[in-house]
Amino acid sequence: MSLSCRKIISRIRNGAIVLIFLLLLSCSNDNGTVITVNGEIPAGAMGKTLHHEHLLVDFIGADSTGYNRWNKDSVVNKVLPYLIEIKKLGYKTLVECTPAYLGRDPQLMKMLSEESGLQLITNTGYYSAVESKYLPPHALRETAEEIAERWIDEARNGIEGTGVFPGFIKISVENKPLEQIHRKIAGAAAITHKATGLVIMSHTGTATPAFQQLEILKNYGVHPSAFIWTHAQNETDFEKHAEAAMRGAWIAFDGFSADQIDRYVDFAIYMKKQGLLNRILFSHDGGWYRPGEPNGGNFRGFTEIEELLIPELRKKGVSQQDILQLFVMNPKDAFQVRYRLL
Ligand SMILES: [Zn+2]
């Protein structure tokens, strides 16, 4: 080998080392990690994501639900094809939004993640809407601090000894001015965020309870960007969405179906004009296996956004870069573990 050849190789090697270093640096700036049911991954590995779907929901109530209500293998048989279907469409991650006492099953999610190759994210937290039907009795008598202690324990030590860790906080309030129980649950979420850096996804609806929750977060010193205003499509006034987004909150239009296409497209275009496309999230709120119904009942798949919404957005002038923003960058930003404090 000639000297000059060696020099060239050495330069290439040095260049490669510099390149790897820069890549590592950009990854580390790229903002930490997200937590899947199979453990922590770099936020950049989250990829194309559906941020609000369900694999199983059990509506029987906190007093009667339990893992005995479904057979995990039967659920896997039913649900797996729907996950493989979206994996083929390029999705890498699905966020499973079923909270505890409504059918959250970490082991089942692990099975489905391993079989499908799709990254799944689960949650800690409680669902206080529907007159406390889905709350365990301790949630009624304990303080926000005591409830938060349980959720923080799941975030630090895993859920029920399964080795599965939650990747976000899921709560729910009634779609009206907040009553005491919902204020307490929102407070517990704020305390948990401050201890864990997990984002808060709150089943909310219209603007009044959304802004009230932002106020509660503020009282705990938590920034609006720690909050995903879930089911925001139930608020008709886009200006309210823009106002919350300008404060930093995430605005989730998460109930997409074919008959909603015009509204979702109008919303995206409105927010783009306001320079707020980087605060919105789209999903189907689709699924799910229903324990107690024959073969889990009717399952709604997760493909309509890809088949209908994205082509329509593109037709209306939303760029490919904007689509990446909506389905890759925004979920990555929303779900990465990070303290968002005032
Ligand atoms: Zn949902």
What's the one-letter identity of residue 19? Answer: L
Domain assignment present for residue 12? The answer is no
For residue 1, report the distance from its CA to the centre of ligand 1, in Å: 64
Tell me how many degrees the CA angle 63-229-108 measures, rounded to the nearest 5.
Answer: 45
Domain assignment present for residue 15? The answer is no
Contact 274, 242 (CB under 8 A): yes
Domain assignment present for residue 20? The answer is no
Question: So what's the pLDDT on residue 27?
Answer: 42
Residues near ion ligand 1 (CB < 5 Å) are 97, 285
For residue 98, report the distance from its CA to the centre of ligand 1, in Å: 7
Contact 95, 302 (CB under 8 A): no
Return all residues near 37 (Cβ < 8 A) that are at least 6 apart.
106, 109, 110, 113, 120, 121, 122, 164, 165
Whose CA is closest to 168, among 139, 146, 192, 143? Answer: 192
For residue 283, report the distance from its CA to the centre of ligand 1, in Å: 9
Residue pointed to by tokens 């199979």: 38
Contact 46, 34 (CB under 8 A): yes
Question: So what's the pLDDT on residue 322?
Answer: 98
Query: Count of domains in the chain?
Result: 1
Contact 325, 272 (CB under 8 A): no
| DSSP string across 261-318 | HHHHHHHHHHHHHTT-GGGEEE----B-B-TTSGGG---B-S-HIIIIIHHHHHHTT-
Residue 281 sits in a domain whose CATH number is: 3.20.20.140
Question: So what's the pLDDT on residue 20?
Answer: 46
Phi-psi region of 12 (alpha: psi -120 to 50; beta: other; left: phi over 0): alpha
Domain assignment present for residue 130? The answer is yes
For residue 6, report the distance from its CA to the centre of ligand 1, in Å: 60
State which residues form the domain around 167: 40-335
Whose CA is closest to 295, among 90, 75, 125? Answer: 75
Report which DSSP code applies to 134: T
For residue 241, report the distance from its CA to the centre of ligand 1, in Å: 19
Contact 193, 206 (CB under 8 A): no
Residue pointed to by tokens 């000297």: 3
> Is the model's pTM score more than 0.75?
yes
Question: So what's the pLDDT on residue 326?
Answer: 98
Domain assignment present for residue 28? The answer is no
- pLDDT per residue, tens digit, the chain (342 aa), is 444 444 544 454 555 554 444 444 444 445 699 999 999 999 999 999 999 999 999 999 999 999 999 999 999 999 999 999 999 999 999 999 999 999 999 999 999 999 999 999 999 999 999 989 999 999 999 999 999 999 999 999 999 999 999 999 999 999 999 999 999 999 999 999 999 999 999 999 999 999 999 999 999 999 999 999 999 999 999 999 999 999 999 999 999 999 999 999 999 999 999 999 999 999 999 999 999 999 999 999 999 999 999 999 999 999 999 999 999 999 999 999 999 999
Domain assignment present for residue 10? The answer is no
For residue 258, report the distance from its CA to the centre of ligand 1, in Å: 17
Strand ranges (E), the chain:
33-36, 39-42, 49-53, 93-96, 119-121, 123-124, 168-172, 200-203, 227-230, 250-253, 280-282
Report which DSSP code applies to 194: H
For residue 50, report the distance from its CA to the centre of ligand 1, in Å: 12
For residue 97, report the distance from its CA to the centre of ligand 1, in Å: 6
Question: So what's the pLDDT on residue 2?
Answer: 42
Tell me how many degrees the CA angle 53-71-68 measures, rounded to the nearest 5.
Answer: 100
Domain assignment present for residue 19? The answer is no
* Number of C-beta neighbours around residue 57 at 10 A: 17
Tell me how many degrees the CA angle 288-293-297 measures, rounded to the nearest 5.
Answer: 40
Return all residues near 229 (Cβ < 8 A) that are at least 6 apart.
202, 204, 210, 241, 244, 249, 250, 251, 252
Domain assignment present for residue 142? The answer is yes
